[in-house]
Structure formats: C-alpha cells, structure tokens
Structure 1
C-alpha cells in the first residue's frame, strides 16, 4: 500500500538527516585524504577550518533558512499525502530543519575543537578519525556481551 512506500522514505530521510551530525562527529564523512595526508596536522586543521567556515556552516544555515518555514507551513496545514491511504507529511518535512540544525551545531563544535587544537588546548585525538584495530573490536564485542 501507499503508506508502506511512504514510511520507507520517511525512515530513510530520518536516518540520513539525523545521522549526518553523528557522522561529522565521528569524522566519517567522505573526503579526499590522498592530498591532505601529505600535509602536516596543523595544515590539515587549517583546511578543515576553511571548509567548515566557507562550505559547511553557510550551507547548513541557508538550508535552515528555507527549511524552517517549509516545515512550519506543513505543520500548520497538517499536510497529508495526496496518495490514497497516504500518511501525514509534516513529520518528514520537520526532519529537514532538525537534521540541519544538529549538523550546524556539530559543525560549530568541530570548529571550536580545531581552534582549540591550534591554540594548544585540545588534542588532535578529539577530532581525528579513530579506526579500531581488530583487537579493539573484539574487546568491545566481549564487553557488550558481558552487559547482556
């Protein structure tokens, strides 16, 4: 039925929009490390600062500027799907500003961490991607199993 198809894209939207900030926190977003890996850590941090301030934060703020009224209008109208048996639409539209608000907050957090690193107040491990070794993964699984 149409409601099953719609719930599918609602869930995908929620997963995509709400996980973006978490992915930024874990430093897992797709990037081209081939070039950046040849630079010093300090230069990499300067590149991150540039990208956060010139690309990420302006983009998230522009999306928020348009998404908030878009979602608010949908909530006010109690917008429903035009499909027979369709779902209410406003929860999915509300995910857009919520997801981008969280991404903006995380972007500001990452910006502060990078500035802290340049000032010597934050360790690079606070924002570097940590790839677990097989031994660490096994230890984490064992620890999780002990909790259950």
Structure 2
C-alpha cells in the first residue's frame, strides 16, 4: 500500500501542475485568434505550442484520470454486478489490457522520443518549434499510466483480500456542498 499511495500522490501532483497547461493553451488559442482576426497575422509556432500543451495535458493527466476512476468503461453492464465482481473485472482489465498495451507503447515510444531528442528534431512547418518535447510526452505519459495501473492493481488486490475499502478507488462524485467548500477554501488562499 505505501507504493500505491506514493504513485497516487505523485500523479495527483503532476495532474495539478499540468492543469495549468490547459489554461495556457486556452489563453494562447484566444490570443492567437484575436491577433489573426484583428491584425491578420499568425505563426505556426503559436499553433504548435497549443498542440504541445494539449498533448501534455492529455498524456500527463491520463494516469490521474485512471486514479479517479474516470476512464472509459461500460458501467451499464458492470453496474449490474456485485462490487467484488466489478473489482475482478477491473483487475483483469488492468492485467490483460491496460498494462500490456501501455508497456508495449512505452517500449516503442522511448526510442522514438530519444531519437527525436538526439537529433534535436524541428518542426517541418515554417516558423515551427522543436518537436522532441512533444515526443517525450508519449513515453512519459505511458510510464505514468503504467505506474498508476500498478497502483490500481495493488488497491484491487487489497480490496479482494479484505484489507481495503472500495472507497479507496471508487469514483468520487462531488456534491454541490463539497464544491462550495472547495471554492471557499480557494478564496481563502487568495
């Protein structure tokens, strides 16, 4: 369980940090659109940085999505089973699909990214940016996903062994009261 808690905490912090990339992408997208329409000017670099930021959000927050049990699944079918059966389905899904596929992508993605870093790959677009940071996101994102998958396997096994309550990995639906409390807490920080 300590390993699982460490992985969960790490992915929470990474997701919190990368959430700012989404704000940056929105600001850049808006500014780029305004500049394009007002001054009839644009740059491929501004378009590419938006893609990079979106890629960072997607790749680096996927593990956090898995941790929060927000990933795509067929709840209509799984919801008809007992919690124990649902946990078995999750466990088999992690072991047979998530981890093997993520490890294969990590295996092939790492040399792909390293080659880009070694060659200092640049965009083929005029005025484009360096490409390697975006390519590094692929193995990094899948590494985080593999680690979170290991954490989820640990939690499911602990549940099946009777050592952990399902609330440790079940989807948490925020109530309006909790949202109000979170807003009040954030306002106190300002």
> What TM-score bracket applies, with the shorter chain setting the length?
over 0.9
The alpha-carbon deviation at position 145 of structure 1 amounts to 1.6
State the TM-score, normalizing by the size of structure 2. 0.76
TM-superposition CA deviations, 1:7-30 (whole Å, max 9, x none): 111111111101100101111112
State the TM-score, normalizing by the size of structure 1. 0.97
Match of 1:84 among 126, 151, 174: 126
2:18 is matched with which residue?
A: none
- Which runs of structure 1 show a deviation greater than 4 angstroms over 4 or more consecutive aligned residues? none
1:123-142 aligned at under 5 Å gives the runs 123-142=165-184
The alpha-carbon deviation at position 5 of structure 1 amounts to 1.3
Aligned residues: 148
2:65 is matched with which residue?
A: 23
The alpha-carbon deviation at position 147 of structure 1 amounts to 2.4
TM-superposition CA deviations, 1:9-58 (whole Å, max 9, x none): 11111111011001011111121111111111000000000100111001
Structure 1, unmatched stretches of 5+, are: none
Structure 2, unmatched stretches of 5+, are: 1-42
Q: CA RMSD in A?
A: 0.8
Q: Which has the higher contact order (CA 8 A, sep 6+)?
A: 1
The alpha-carbon deviation at position 125 of structure 1 amounts to 0.7
TM-superposition CA deviations, 1:60-115 (whole Å, max 9, x none): 00000100000000011011111121111000000000000000000000000000
1:48-87 aligned at under 5 Å gives the runs 48-87=90-129
